[in-house]
Amino acid sequence: MGGLPRIPGTWCVSPGDTPRRALFAVLLLASVVSFCAPQARSQQRREREANSVYAARRAKLSAQVDAPILLWGFTGREESSQAYVFAQEENFYYLTGHNEEGAGLILLPPAKSGASPVASGLPSEILFLPPKNPSKEKWNGLRMSPSDPGIEARTGFVSVLPYPEMRATLEKLAKVYPAIYTILPYEKENGGYPHEKAAVDWIHTTVPQVALKDIHFDIEALRQIKSPGEIAFLTEAIELSLDAQLAAMRMMRPGLHEYEIAAKMVEVHAMGGSEAEGYAPIVGAGPNSTALHYDKLSRKIEDGDIVVLDVGAQYSGYSADITRTLPANGKFTPRQREIYEIVLGAQNAALAAIKPGMDYCQRGSKSVHKIAYDYINSHGKDLHGKSLGQYFIHGLGHDIGLDVHDPGEACKPLEPGMVVTVEPGIYLPEENLGVRIEDDILITETGYKFLSERLPRNPGEIEQIMAEAAAGRAKELKKAND
Ligand SMILES: [Mn+2]
């Protein structure tokens, strides 16, 4: 609860100064930004970390390699939906805090023996931005450009060049360095995402003699340990998601559609300053409770349904991931409650064991997944008398951050600074009964900090909140009829 922790940044007045839940926060924020920024200011509805934080990440990354690193942001043409709002490629954002279209980045390795920035005659890092385009800005609003006065101080780069100069810069580098790092296309699906393939093809065509090496694991390892600023953004995303879950708990009743519940939750997020959803909201009632990523939201919620709500806000680029499972009519059936309590028991067993050194691997003596699985498999039965472990069909959790499924490896030991979900579930399609409970925690030196603790998980508490809300509705209705 409470206000947003202060992030040192580039704002004249931090949007954190405005009451988070105030209805006018967004309007106020917009006016604050335009008021204190006579020259071309970014129009982002995001807070950033301080430029020094992004600069330190770049320095740390380039110190790990012996060749230049070339990276690209998104162009804004990666998606054709008319509802699409630009959001930066996450690795690029992590290293720059820059959230506009068409940018490129070159980082040189620190001077060591052999090739060095001095040898190439180039600055150690260059941000490439699209040249100023006033006619485009009439449609899309202001963008940062290399010709803006003070652009270096604003972006935190000593050198900001027009994007078309990236080619000549690469050609210069190729005379000094035999290899270049970039993000190589992810090969598992369809030969890689198109934007990664396009970037690699462009390097090949421009400097065919240069060898390409992959940098994405190095960036992802950095992304796994969150900075204080990232933890503050995640905390805010989580707080808004908890507010939304509580609103849904109070609103839930038979006769509503899944999309109505989701709409209320999205409203709570947006009114609190969240700029987007962390992922497509999942509100699955009855049979839909057993589909992990159900996003159709079309069912009319019926008496007796169980409803899985897996809905998370994004705040300043960072996504929460929270799930609660509710009885549509406010009271779990004995069978629903039995399964619910097994999932809760599994989550508590995992939480009791989570600390640095443990991992999310499927098996092994350090596996908290196995602890949750064993709990589920040793409690309760399906309709055929079989153990329930086979119905826990996903991992125990994952990292969250700029991506709701942030980079991270299940079998890597937990370390302080990681933010992960803990989300056991049991899905029984035969009984139209799915239960998932998902919370977000920060790994600390001695264990973890429970970031989503204020949202009740105990079935009795959930039923009480729902009963109080139902009584309130009945009272309102009576007043209206009197
Ligand atoms: Mn999740």
DSSP codes of every residue in 244-281: HHHHHHHH--TTSBHHHHHHHHHHHHHHTT--EESS--
- The pLDDT of residue 362 is 94
- The pLDDT of residue 482 is 87
* CA of 455 relative to ligand 1 center, distance in Å: 16
* CA of 401 relative to ligand 1 center, distance in Å: 12
* CA of 278 relative to ligand 1 center, distance in Å: 10
- The pLDDT of residue 188 is 54
* CA of 304 relative to ligand 1 center, distance in Å: 26
Residue 467 vs residues 289, 329, 452, 461, 473: alpha-carbon distances, Å: 22, 9, 22, 10, 10
Helix axes 334-353, 368-377, angle to 10 degrees: 150
* Contact residues for 10 (Cβ-Cβ < 8 A; gap 6+): 48, 50, 51, 154
* CA of 305 relative to ligand 1 center, distance in Å: 22
* CA of 321 relative to ligand 1 center, distance in Å: 5
* CA of 283 relative to ligand 1 center, distance in Å: 14
- The pLDDT of residue 112 is 67
* CA of 81 relative to ligand 1 center, distance in Å: 25
* CA of 397 relative to ligand 1 center, distance in Å: 6
* CA of 275 relative to ligand 1 center, distance in Å: 20
* CA of 314 relative to ligand 1 center, distance in Å: 13
Place of tokens 């290899």: 179
* CA of 390 relative to ligand 1 center, distance in Å: 19
Could you state, in order of their start, the residue ranges of all structural domains in the chain?
1-35, 50-223, 227-472
- Cα gap 26→319, rounded to integer Å: 19
- The pLDDT of residue 191 is 47
Burial 9-38 (b: 16+ CB within 10 A, else e): bbbeebbbebebeeeebbebbeebbeeeee
Low-confidence ranges of the chain (pLDDT < 70): 1-43, 112-119, 187-193
The DSSP secondary-structure symbol of 4 reads: P
- Cα gap 309→312, rounded to integer Å: 9
* CA of 82 relative to ligand 1 center, distance in Å: 27
* CA of 438 relative to ligand 1 center, distance in Å: 7
Planar angle of CA 271, 276, 279, nearest 5 degrees: 125
* CA of 245 relative to ligand 1 center, distance in Å: 15
- The pLDDT of residue 187 is 63
Q: Which two tokens stand for residue 264?
A: 């209320």
**Domain 227-472 CATH superfamily:** Creatinase/methionine aminopeptidase superfamily (3.90.230.10)
* CA of 38 relative to ligand 1 center, distance in Å: 42
* CA of 146 relative to ligand 1 center, distance in Å: 39
* CA of 347 relative to ligand 1 center, distance in Å: 13
* CA of 273 relative to ligand 1 center, distance in Å: 22
- The pLDDT of residue 355 is 98
* CA of 442 relative to ligand 1 center, distance in Å: 14
**How many C-beta atoms lie closer than 10 Å to residue 211's C-beta?**
10
Are the C-beta atoms of 268 and 311 separated by less than 8 Å?
no
The CATH architecture assigned to 50-223 reads: 3-Layer(aba) Sandwich (3.40)
Q: Which two tokens stand for residue 481?
A: 């009829």
Tell me if domain 50-223 and domain 227-472 are identical in fold.
no
* CA of 366 relative to ligand 1 center, distance in Å: 21
- Cα gap 327→303, rounded to integer Å: 9
Q: Which amino acid is at 351?
A: L
* CA of 462 relative to ligand 1 center, distance in Å: 21
* CA of 85 relative to ligand 1 center, distance in Å: 23
* CA of 202 relative to ligand 1 center, distance in Å: 36
- The pLDDT of residue 19 is 37
* Contact residues for 317 (Cβ-Cβ < 8 A; gap 6+): 46, 87, 88, 93, 99, 233, 402
> Model pTM greater than 0.85?
yes
User: Going along 196-347, which residue ranges are E strands?
Assistant: 211-214, 276-277, 282-285, 306-310, 313-315, 318-319, 323-327
Closest listed residue to residue 125, CA positions, set 93, 160, 101, 92: 160
